Amino acid sequence: MEIWVPQWTVRQPEHPVAGSTWFGGLPAGLDPAAWPVCGQCDTALTPLLQLSAGPWLRRIPAGHVLLVFKCESDDVCEFWDPDDVANRCLLVPVTELSSGAGVPDDVATGKTRILPRLWVGEWQRGDDGLTPEQAVQVDRDEVWNLPDDTRAIVEAAETYTKAGGAPVWTGNGPAPEPARPRQLLFQLDNWITTVDSADDVATALADRPDRSVHVRDSTVSAANFMSDGVAYVFDVAPDAPVPDAKLVISR
């Protein structure tokens, strides 16, 4: 099945910001009134991802972006469950994003943690060796039933972060798998490998004295994924005209 591997960089790409894909940072002009709030600690949620439409994410309608938020507060809210309480996914038309929209008070005062921004400069197309029918059937235990060569491709470290294909399940929970029908839109490892040099990454993050941002050569770990978790964005209505996206985090 077709997969797309993002090529992360600390440098802003030349293509328009509103239609870009990135980790962290701020949404490109989201109305503060539309900004989701954690249902447990009542804090404005932290932006985790902006996912752009394209061949890498065919379920996102053209002219839209999918904004993914999660709670990063010290209250350790249950951000791992796909229940729209301590995380949220918003499908937003690019035309509704305005550079002068401002931010919620929690963001302006620093109560809401904002993650360092990493951009996707390019997408690298690949194939995980599965049919679409096989890909949607892969659960935590069923991956062991795949042929060895196919399982090696599915579980390759370099594709732990990808769009499309089968989810690479981790084994320690705590989040449950979303009920079927479901389709993986995007998977994000807690360590994000960039195409930049270690010096360029260090320079770009030099003004981030954040104890929660870890840098190892050209890789960055910034969000709370319970130390070694993986985030999954699933479409739980794959037969509907537009996706119903849910965030799940498992370690």
User: What is the reported pLDDT for 209?
Assistant: 66
Residue with tokens 């981790």: 170
Assess whether pLDDT exceeds 90 at residue 49.
yes
Helix (H) or strand (E) holding 202, with range, is: helix 198-204
Question: Strand pairing of 64-70 and 118-127?
Answer: unpaired
Determine the average pLDDT of the residues in 70-92: 94
What does the pLDDT read at residue 5?
A: 95
Summarize the confidence of residues 113-132 as an average pLDDT.
89
Residue-wise pLDDT tens digits, 138-147? 665 556 566 7
91 phi and psi angles, rounded to 5 deg: -95, 115
pLDDT on residue 141: 54
Range 42-53 average pLDDT: 97
Q: What is the pLDDT of residues 123-139, one digit of tens each?
A: 999 887 777 777 666 66
Q: pLDDT tier at 214 (50, 70, 90 boundaries)? A: very high
Q: What pTM was estimated for this model as a whole?
A: 0.92
Q: How far apart are CA 59 and CA 76, in angstroms?
A: 31
Selected residue with higher pLDDT from 232 and 160: 232
Q: What is the mean pLDDT of residues 241-246?
A: 96
Using the CB atoms, write b or e for 126-150: b if 16+ within 10 Å: bebbbeeebbbebeeeebeebeeee
The band of 19, judged by pLDDT with boundaries at 50, 70 and 90, is: confident
Mean pLDDT within 66-88: 94
Q: pLDDT tier at 107 (50, 70, 90 boundaries)?
A: very high
Which of 245 and 146 is assigned the larger pLDDT?
245
Q: Which residue has the tokens 């809401």?
A: 112
**What is residue 120's predicted lDDT score, i.e. its pLDDT?**
95
Mean pLDDT, the chain, as a whole number?
A: 88
Q: Report the distance separating Cα 37 and Cα 226, nearest Å.
A: 21
Rounded to the nearest 5°, which phi and psi values hold at 103? -135, 160
| Residue 251 confidence class, pLDDT cut points 50, 70, 90 | confident
Band (pLDDT 50/70/90 cuts) for residue 109 is very high
Strand spans (E) along the chain: 2-9, 22-23, 46-52, 64-70, 87-93, 118-127, 162-163, 183-189, 192-193, 214-216, 219-221, 230-235, 245-250
